[in-house]
Amino acid sequence: MAAAALVDNSSGKDAVAEGLLDLLKPAVQQLDLHVHSVRESQVELREHIDSLATELCRINEHQKVALDLDPYVKKLLNARRRVVLVNNILQNAQERLRRLNHNVAKETARRKTMLESSGVFTSRSPSKP
């Protein structure tokens, strides 16, 4: 009798865990896609900043009028540094998210296998009265 209560309690926890996984998995996948998109656009932004800084240096060298563009180049390089920093933070967050998603899927598969082998988990079919 106590064993049946333990199995019911454990299957209830597993059902809740599986329900949470089903609820969170689409949000995690969508977040992962958005992070990937932001990282791509930041790489593109960094490339544009590099190109603009190079172009400003080239213009500054060829100007006959003494126009000091160095402060602007420094601002661009500072912005580039910040973009790279944010990109690294996003990359780390995305990697953590992937590991979390992988661990949750692995744990869910393990629990499902455990439940199937114990005979507690059966395919859900409508019960006929």
How do residues 8-49 score in pLDDT, each as one tens digit?
A: 566 677 777 778 778 878 888 888 888 888 888 988 988 998
DSSP annotation of 119: T
| Burial of 3 (C-beta count, 10 Å sphere; 0-12/13-18/19+) | exposed
Distance CA 93, CA 100 (A): 10
DSSP annotation of 11: H
Count of C-beta atoms within a 10 Å radius of residue 40: 11
How do residues 103-119 score in pLDDT, each as one tens digit?
A: 888 888 888 888 888 77
pLDDT, residue 1, reads 46
Where are the alpha helices (H) located in 63-123, listed in sequence order?
Answer: 70-118
Predicted TM-score (pTM) of the model is 0.54
Residue 90 reports pLDDT greater than 80: yes
